[in-house]
Chains A and B, each alone.
Chain A
C-alpha cells in the first residue's frame, strides 16, 4: 500500500494544490498574487514529483510498467509524459488568464482551482488501469470544463455555450459509460489488462465477436469521438468555444482534447488493442471527415476564435492520422500523435493567449477586424501571433511542421506496408495541411497588411503574459528545430504501450 500511495503521488499532490488554492483564497480573498504563487509553485512541484515518481517507480527509461491499487492505476513512460503535458497546459492557461479575467471582473482563484481539478482528472486518465477509473477520471476532467465554459456568468453567450456543452457532454458520457458496461459484460472484467487479454484470446480463437462487444465498441467510439470533437460529433465545439472567455477557450481546445486522446491511448490502444485492425477503419473515416470539414469551414470564418475552434477540429483529424498509422502497425504513428499533442498544445495556447491579450480591454471582440493593423499597434504581439499561426499552418521550421510531418510520414509508412487506405489518408492530410494556410494567413494579412480601424493605443500587458508568450514561442521554435531530445521522451512514452 505505501508503494501504491507513492505511485499516486503526483495525483495526490495535484489535488492538494487545488485545495491549497481554495484555502489561500479563503485566507486572503480576491488577491491574485498569492493564488498565482501557490498554483504555479504547486504545479512546479507536481511536475517535479511526476518526474521523480516516473524515475523511481517505473525505472529510468520509463518502459517498465508498475501497477498500483491492484492494477487500477498504472505508472509507465506514457503516464509521466502525459502528466507533464497536462501540467504544462494548465500552467500556461493560468499564466495567460489573469489579464483577461481581471478586465472583466472575474476572480482568478476559482478559475485556477477548477482548472487544477480538471488537471487531476486528466492525470488520472493517463494512469488509468481500470475502465471504471477511466470513466470517473474522464468525468473529473470534463466537469470543470463545463463550469469554465460558463465562467463569465453575466455573459449570455458564455452561459448558453456552457449549458449546451454540459448537456451534450453528459449525453456523450452516458453513451461512453454504456459502451464500458457492454465491454465489461462481454469480457467479464473492468481491468484494462484483463480486457485486453480477453479480447486477444477472443481474436485468436477466431469466430465472430460477441454482438455486445461490437455494440460496445460503437458506443465507446462515439463517446470518445465526441470528446475529441471529431466530425460528425463536433457540433458543440464552435458554440462552447466562442461563448467561453478566451483563456478558457484556449484551455478547452487543448486540455480536454489531449486528455481525450490520453483516454484513447489507454482504452483503444491498450484495452482494445487486439481489435485495432477493426477500429482502424472507423478512425480512417473519422480522420478524413474531421480534417476536411474542419478546414473547409474554418476557411469561411471571420471571427478568429471561431476560426481557431474549427481549425482545432482539423488538428484532431491530423492526430487521428497518427492513430490510424499506429493501428496499422507503425509505432511512429503513436510517437507522432504524442508529439503532435505536445506541439499543438503549445502553439494553440500561444495563439489563444495573443487573442486574450488583445481582448484585454473588456468589450473587444475577437473578430478579424480587431486584428487589423496589429502589426503596427503592437508589433511584438503580432510577430508572436504570426509565429504561432505559422506553426499551426505547419510551415517549417516550427513545431507544427514537424508534428504534421511526423504523423504523415508514419501514415505513409503504413500505406507502404500494405495499408493503402492509411497511405491515402496521408495524401489527404497533405492537401488539407496546404489548405490550412489560407485561413491562418488571413489573420497575418490583417495584422500586417491592413490599416487599423481606429488608432487604438497599444495595451499594456502583464509581465506574466509576456513571460508565458516567450516560453511558448521558444518552445514552438525549439521543438521544431531540435526535436531530438524531446523525441527520445516521446519514443519512450510510445513504447510503454505500443512497443
Chain B
C-alpha cells in the first residue's frame, strides 16, 4: 500500500518537473537545449523548496544534493563542464556529505530529527518571491552584452583563468581554507576531560 503511494508521489513529482520542459519543447517550439534548461531549473527550484519545507532534516540534506546536481546539469548545458565537475566534486562530494554526516552524528538517536516550523513561513515566502521577482525583472530588463556570449569551456582556458588572471584569488582561497581548517580543528577538538 505504501509503496503505491510513493510511486504515485514520484510520478506526480516527475510530471511537475518535466511539464515545463515539455511546454518549452512543444508549445513554445524551443530546442532540446532550452527544454533541458527548463527541466533542470524546475527540478532545482522544486528541490530548493523541499530543502526549506521538509520536516526531516536528513531528507532536507538529500534534497539539497538534488538541488546541487541540477545546478551542475545547468552548468553543463551552459557549456561549462569544468565548473559542473567542480560543483559535483566539491559541493556534492564534499560539502553535502559532510553536512549529512554532521547531522547524523549530532542528532540524538531517540529524539526527533525534526525541524521546528516557524511562524514566519508566510512572510519569508513572500520575501523570497519578491526578491525572485526583483531578480528576474532585473535580469530580463538588462541587455547583458558580451557577458552572455558562450563561454569557452576548454580546460586550457580554465587553467589560464585560474593560474594567470585569478592566481591571486586562488592563493587567497588557499589561505582561506587553511584558516578554516585550523579553526575547524580547534572548535571540533574535545576539551580535556570533557
Q: Which A residues have a C-beta under 8 Å from some C-beta of B?
A: 8, 15, 18, 22, 69-70, 72-73, 110, 113-114, 117-118, 120-121, 124, 130, 132-133, 136-137, 139-140, 143-144, 146-147, 150, 153-154, 182, 184-186, 188, 210-216
Q: Is the CB of B186 within 8 A of A143?
A: no
Is B145 an interface residue when CB atoms closer than 8 A count as contact?
yes
Q: Is the CB of B173 within 8 A of A136?
A: yes
A215 to B191, CA, bound (A): 46
Q: Which B residues have a C-beta under 8 Å from some C-beta of A?
A: 134-135, 137-139, 141-147, 164-169, 172-173, 175-176, 178-180, 182-184, 186-187, 191, 194
Which B residues are CB-close (under 8 A) to A121? 175-176, 179
Partner among A69, A136, A147 whose Cβ is within 8 Å of the Cβ of B186: A147
Q: Is the CB of B175 within 8 A of A110?
A: no
Contacts A8-B168, A188-B146, A214-B138 known; list 9 others, CB within 8 Å. Answer: A18-B179, A110-B183, A133-B168, A133-B172, A136-B173, A136-B176, A140-B172, A210-B141, A213-B142
Q: Is the CB of B147 within 8 A of A185?
A: yes
Which A residues are CB-close (under 8 A) to B184? 147
A18 to B178, CA, bound (A): 10
Which B residues are CB-close (under 8 A) to A214? 138
Which A residues are CB-close (under 8 A) to B164? 70
Which A residues are CB-close (under 8 A) to B142? 185-186, 210-213
Chain A interface, DSSP helix/strand/loop, else mixed: helix
Q: Is the CB of B179 within 8 A of A130?
A: no
Q: Is the CB of A132 within 8 A of B176?
A: no
Q: Is the CB of A144 within 8 A of B166?
A: no
A137 to B170, CA, bound (A): 11
A120 to B171, CA, bound (A): 12
**Given contacts A150-B187, A215-B134, is CB(A139)–CB(B141) below 8 Å?**
no
How far does the Cβ of A102 sit from chain B's closest Cβ, in whole Å? 15
How far does the Cβ of A67 sit from chain B's closest Cβ, in whole Å? 11
Q: Is the CB of A211 within 8 A of B182?
A: no
Which B residues are CB-close (under 8 A) to A215? 134-135, 138
Question: In chain A, what residue has the closest Cβ to B184?
Answer: A147
Q: Is the CB of A211 within 8 A of B137?
A: yes
How far does the Cβ of A151 sit from chain B's closest Cβ, in whole Å? 8
Q: Is the CB of B138 within 8 A of A212?
A: yes
Q: Is the CB of A154 within 8 A of B168?
A: no
A212 to B143, CA, bound (A): 9
Which B residues are CB-close (under 8 A) to A113? 182
Q: Is the CB of B176 within 8 A of A140?
A: yes
Q: List 15 A-B contacts (CB under 8 A).
A: A114-B182, A117-B175, A118-B179, A130-B168, A133-B172, A136-B173, A144-B179, A147-B184, A188-B145, A188-B146, A210-B141, A211-B138, A212-B138, A212-B139, A212-B144
A29 to B55, CA, bound (A): 45
A143 to B186, CA, bound (A): 14
Q: Is the CB of A110 within 8 A of B186?
A: yes
A137 to B179, CA, bound (A): 12
Which B residues are CB-close (under 8 A) to A210? 141-143
Q: Is the CB of B168 within 8 A of A73?
A: yes
Ranked nearest first, the 3 interchain pairs of A and B with the lowest CB-CB distance are A147-B183, A117-B179, A211-B141
Question: In chain B, what residue has the closest Cβ to A14?
Answer: B175
Question: In chain B, what residue has the closest Cβ to A185?
Answer: B147
Q: Is the CB of B179 within 8 A of A140?
A: yes
Q: Is the CB of A184 within 8 A of B147?
A: yes
Which A residues are CB-close (under 8 A) to B178? 117
A15 to B173, CA, bound (A): 13
How far does the Cβ of A323 sit from chain B's closest Cβ, in whole Å? 26
Q: Is the CB of A143 within 8 A of B180?
A: yes
A69 to B168, CA, bound (A): 7
How far does the Cβ of A170 sit from chain B's closest Cβ, in whole Å? 12
Q: Is the CB of A182 within 8 A of B191?
A: no
A153 to B145, CA, bound (A): 51
Question: In chain A, what residue has the closest Cβ to B165?
Answer: A70
A185 to B149, CA, bound (A): 11
Q: Is the CB of B179 within 8 A of A143?
A: yes
Which A residues are CB-close (under 8 A) to B191? 153-154
Partner among A22, A150, A212, A216 whose Cβ is within 8 Å of the Cβ of B141: A212
A118 to B180, CA, bound (A): 11
Q: Is the CB of A143 within 8 A of B176?
A: yes
How far does the Cβ of A84 sit from chain B's closest Cβ, in whole Å? 20
A146 to B74, CA, bound (A): 33
* Residue of B145, B175, B182 with most chain A CB atoms under a 10 A cut-off: B175
Which A residues are CB-close (under 8 A) to B173? 136
**Given contacts A72-B168, A150-B187, A153-B187, is CB(A114)–CB(B143) below 8 Å?**
no
A287 to B179, CA, bound (A): 33
Which A residues are CB-close (under 8 A) to B137? 211
Question: In chain B, what residue has the closest Cβ to A127?
Answer: B168
How far does the Cβ of B177 sit from chain A's closest Cβ, in whole Å? 10
**Given contacts A136-B176, A154-B194, A211-B142, is CB(A110)–CB(B166) below 8 Å?**
no
* Residue of B135, B179, B194 with most chain A CB atoms under a 10 A cut-off: B179
Which B residues are CB-close (under 8 A) to A213? 142
**Given contacts A72-B169, A188-B147, is CB(A110)–CB(B182) below 8 Å?**
yes
**Given contacts A185-B144, A211-B141, is CB(A139)–CB(B176) below 8 Å?**
yes
Which A residues are CB-close (under 8 A) to B167? 69
* Residue of B143, B172, B182, B186 with most chain A CB atoms under a 10 A cut-off: B172
Which A residues are CB-close (under 8 A) to B134? 215
Q: Is the CB of A143 within 8 A of B183?
A: yes
